[in-house]
Structures are given as C-alpha cells and as structure tokens.
Amino acid sequence: ARHLSVLGIETSCDDTGIALLNQNGEVLGNVLNSQQKFHTRYGGIIPPRAQDLHRAKIAEVFENCIAQAQMTPEQLDAIGVTTRPGLPLSLLVGLRFAKHIARKYKKPLVPVHHMEAHALQARMEQNIPYPFLCLLISGGHCQLVFVRSPSKFSLLGETLDDAPGEAFDKIARRLRLFLLPKYEHWNGGRAVEDAAQHARNPSRFEFPLPLARDRNCNFSFAGIKNNSFRNIRAVERQEGTPPDGIIHQYHDFCAGLLAAVSRHLMNRTQRALEYTIPWFGNAPRSLVVSGGVANNDYIFNDLSHLATHYDCQAYRPSKKYCSDNGVMIAWNAIEKIKENSNCMRWDYDSLSICG
Ligand code: KG4
Ligand code: ZN
C-alpha cells in the first residue's frame, strides 16, 4: 500500500507552521514563519497583529512546504489543523486556510489539539511506547498528563496562574535582557538559559518553592515571578539603574531563577511519578517532556535525573520540534488516523476553533 501523506497546519500563537509527513514520520516538507521579531518590539503578542501576520504568510508557507516535498496538493491524504487551544484570531486563520485547501482538493480534515500534539511529538523520532507520563511546559501551558493512547489523556495537574515560559519571557523583559544584542531576537527562556551559564554565584538571589505543601500535581509561577520583580527593583534601588539598563548581577539572577523553576517542575513531577508508577504495571516507564521550555537543557537534565530514581526513561523531541511547528500537527493527525480513520472529517462546516 502507498504511504499516507499528511499535511499539518499550526497557527495557534505567533508561528505560522506547515509541514508534510508520511506515515512513518519522515518529514518531507517543513516551513516555519516566526513572528518573534515583530512581537518582541512591542513587548508581547498583540492578537490582531498576530492574525494579520498569519494571514499575510500562510499561503506562501503552504506553497513552500509543498514545493520542498516535491509534491502536489492532489497527493495529500489528509490535512491536520490545530483547532484549540490558542489565540482565537490566530487559530481562525489556520482553520480557514485548511478548509479552503480541503474544499479545493477534496481532502479530509483532522482537527488537532495543540497540547496533545506537543505530547505525542517525541514518538515521531523515538520509540516510546504507550503509556507515558508527560510534562507539557510552554509559554501558555504547564500540565502533567498521563497518556494512554493518541486519544486517551488524563490530566493530573496544571498551573494555577502563569506558565513557565511566560514567566521566563516576562522576567527577561523586566531584566531588559533584550537590550543585549545577543538576546535581541531570542525568546526569554533561551536568554535566561544562556545568561545562567555565566553565573559566578547562582545562590546570590533567593526564590521560593511554590506549592510546597500542596499534596497535588498543580503548578504556580506567579510567586517566582513577583519575587523576581521585587528582587530586581531592590537591586536597582540600591545601585541605581546602570547606563545599559541591565543590572550587573543578571547572570547570577538568571541562574537562580532557572534553578527555582526547575526545582518546582521536579517537585511536581516527582509527585506525579509516585502517583502513576502503579499505572504502568510491567510496561516500561517513560517521562516525556515537551513544549518550548523542553528546549532547556538544564531543566531536561534535572528531570532526567529525577526519572532515573523511578526506573523511568526521560525523553523530549529534538529541539527543532519542541517549540510550535507544523510537524507536530501532521504527526498527531497521523497517530489519530492510525488509531481510528473516523477522525478524518468531511463535514468541514461543523469544524470550529473549539472542537
Ligand atoms: O511551545 P511554544 O513554542 O509555544 C507555546 O505554545 O507557548 O513555547 C514557547 C515558550 C516561550 O515562552 C519561551 O520562552 C520558551 O518556550 N522557551 C524556553 C527555551 N526556549 C523556548 N524556555 C526555557 N529555555 C529555553 N531554552
Ligand atoms: Zn505550543
């Protein structure tokens, strides 16, 4: 039988990503247009602006992807598209475009949940059996889920306020790290990770361990964030704002922040491991870390060590697939189709950005 060819369309936030995969997870085409440099200039994502940028780019991203794969749209077997969760204005652009292509070439659509796509992405490149525990850490989310199949997810805990990537981004902006040419076009998490590597005294600043007494798997990053703002203000008051706008101890500060975020993630993941070990039975135990913050080597190493204590192997997608992209959407559609081909939908009109 011929291999399935599946397109994936991702527009939930500020990246326009389209990719084309075959059913074995070989990436035939992959194009990503990031809006990062427009949004850092305005200090964050402005939804109508993100929508305009998706609209301006999506047709070109699609054409480049098809060309890269040296295929024609007629050869597609299905089109996966992110329908939730995300910025509604951004999601709409992807879904409308997917419907347009589906109608034009008479192809079925597969609605994809953005977080489920992050969760399954590591399976594309590595042999990770179901079930697995998954820690999803990104700019919009922080969740622990137990994944039994492409369609069976149990939520164990999630953030009560900020996501870790969001905390990194806001604190990096408050530190004015983006004034440094090196970090000008980086996201906050990557800038903090880099700055932390040059620390001399990582324990110079103190950070709280959130929810230490809560006997559940929830997260909270607002305390770490507010504590960070207080610390930065105190240093600025003491020393005055330096001419370049950045406090001198920012390396030490970033190292402390990174360690605090990692400690909280480990603390909650340890609870989830203890809770779910019996659910694995005799099956191999796996922890999958995914989402943009999974790019962070320090955090992933900490989590890998923790997992080892539970006879559990830690995995993450390769770095280019940790952050938002079209590949993970196509891969999720493939996993769904393999499990149950009824997930392919011809009733385009009934698909919305909620379902
Ligand atoms: O998954 P993603 O691309 O988009 C969302 O769905 O949110 O994640 C983006 C987030 C940003 O907040 C960014 O600061 C964070 O991932 N991030 C990192 C690193 N690279 C990206 N956080 C920590 N360390 C990194 N190396
Ligand atoms: Zn994401």
Edge-to-edge strand order for the sheet containing 152-158?
Answer: 152-158, 142-149, 132-137, 285-290, 312-315
Domain membership of residue 163 (yes or no) is yes
Same domain, 112 and 220: no
CA of 1 relative to ligand 2 center, distance in Å: 34
Task: Determine the pLDDT at residue 41.
Answer: 67
Is the whole-model pTM more than 0.80?
A: yes
Same domain, 179 and 100: no
**Which range marks the domain in which residue 13 is found?**
5-121+322-350
Q: Cβ atoms within 10 A of the Cβ of 167, count?
A: 28
Kindly give the confidence (pLDDT) of every residue in the chain, 355 residues in length, as a single tens digit, with 9 standing for 90 and above: 568 999 999 999 999 999 999 999 999 999 999 998 787 767 778 999 999 999 999 999 999 999 999 999 999 999 999 999 999 999 999 999 999 999 999 999 999 999 999 999 999 999 999 999 999 999 999 999 999 999 999 999 999 999 999 999 999 999 999 999 999 989 999 999 999 999 999 999 999 999 999 999 999 999 999 999 999 999 989 888 777 778 889 999 999 999 999 999 999 999 999 999 999 999 999 999 999 999 999 999 999 999 999 999 999 999 999 999 999 999 999 999 999 999 999 999 999 998 5
Domain membership of residue 44 (yes or no) is yes
Q: Which CA distances in Å does 110 have to 137, 228, 324, 347?
A: 24, 42, 18, 11
For the chain, the maximum distance between any two Cα atoms, rounded to a whole number of angstroms, is 71
The tally of domains found in the chain comes to: 2
Same domain, 159 and 221: yes
CA of 17 relative to ligand 2 center, distance in Å: 11
Task: Determine the pLDDT at residue 44.
Answer: 79
Give residues whose Cβ lies within 5 Å of ion ligand 2.
138, 324
With the most atoms of ligand 1 within 8 angstroms of its CB, the residue from 36, 254, 295 to mutate is: 295
Q: Which ligand is nearest to the CA of 167?
A: 1
* Contact indicator for 217, 275 with CB cutoff of 8 Å: yes
Domain membership of residue 56 (yes or no) is yes
- Backbone phi and psi for residue 153, each to the nearest 5 degrees, phi listed first: -120, 130
Same domain, 145 and 41: no
Q: Is the dihedral of CA 337, 342, 348, 353 positive or negative?
A: negative
Same domain, 158 and 103: no
CA of 234 relative to ligand 2 center, distance in Å: 34
Same domain, 222 and 340: no
Same domain, 308 and 336: no
Same domain, 230 and 303: yes
Task: Determine the pLDDT at residue 244.
Answer: 74
CA of 233 relative to ligand 1 center, distance in Å: 25
Q: CA nearest 192: which of 203, 180, 204, 208?
A: 180
Domain membership of residue 355 (yes or no) is no
Ligand 1 atom closest to 140 (CA)? 7
Same domain, 207 and 329: no
With the most atoms of ligand 1 within 8 angstroms of its CB, the residue from 45, 187, 289 to mutate is: 187
Q: Cβ atoms within 10 A of the Cβ of 56, count?
A: 12
Same domain, 307 and 335: no
- Backbone phi and psi for residue 82, each to the nearest 5 degrees, phi listed first: -65, 125
Task: Determine the pLDDT at residue 246.
Answer: 84
Can you give the CATH number for the domain in which 233 is found?
A: 3.30.420.40
Same domain, 327 and 301: no
Ligand 1 atom closest to 291 (CA)? 1
Under DSSP, the state recorded for 268 is H
Same domain, 199 and 253: yes
